[in-house]
Amino acid sequence: MKVATDFQIFGVQQYGGISKYHMRLAEELSKSSVDCRIFAPFHKNEYLKNDTNDLVSGFFTPRLLNLSPSLVKIFNQIISQSVIPLWHPDVLHMSYYPTIDLKGSAQKVITVHDMIHEKFPNYFPNGRRLSTLKRKAIGLADHIITISENTKKDLMDIFGTSAEKISVVYHGYDDIESRKPDFVINQPFILFVGNRSGYKNFDLLIEAVSQSTLLKDFFVLAFGGRPFSRPEMEIIKAKGLDKRVFQLGGNDEVLSHLYQKAESFVYPSEYEGFGIPLLESMSKSCPVIASDSSCFPEIGGNACEYFEKNNIDSLMVSLEKVCLDSEFKKSLVMKGTQRVNNFSWAKCAMETKLVYESLNSKHQ
- Per-residue pLDDT, averaged over 194-218, amounts to 95
Rounded Cα distance, 158 and 146, in Å: 14
What is the per-residue DSSP string for 37-78? EEEEEEE--HHHHT--SS-EEEEE-HHHHHH-HHHHHHHHHH
Rounded Cα distance, 184 and 326, in Å: 23
Task: Delineate the domains of the chain, giving CATH numbers in brackets.
Answer: 2-172+344-363 (3.40.50.2000), 189-342 (3.40.50.2000)
Residue 281 has pLDDT above 80, yes or no: yes
pTM of the model: 0.93
Strands, DSSP E only, in 113-207? 143-146, 166-168, 189-193
Confidence bin at 7 (pLDDT 50/70/90): very high
Percent of the chain residues past pLDDT 90, beyond the cut: 81
Most confident of 4-18, 241-255, 294-308: 294-308
Dump pLDDT digits (tens) for 21-67: 999 999 999 999 899 999 999 999 999 999 999 999 999 999 888 88
Confidence bin at 361 (pLDDT 50/70/90): confident
Confidence bin at 339 (pLDDT 50/70/90): very high
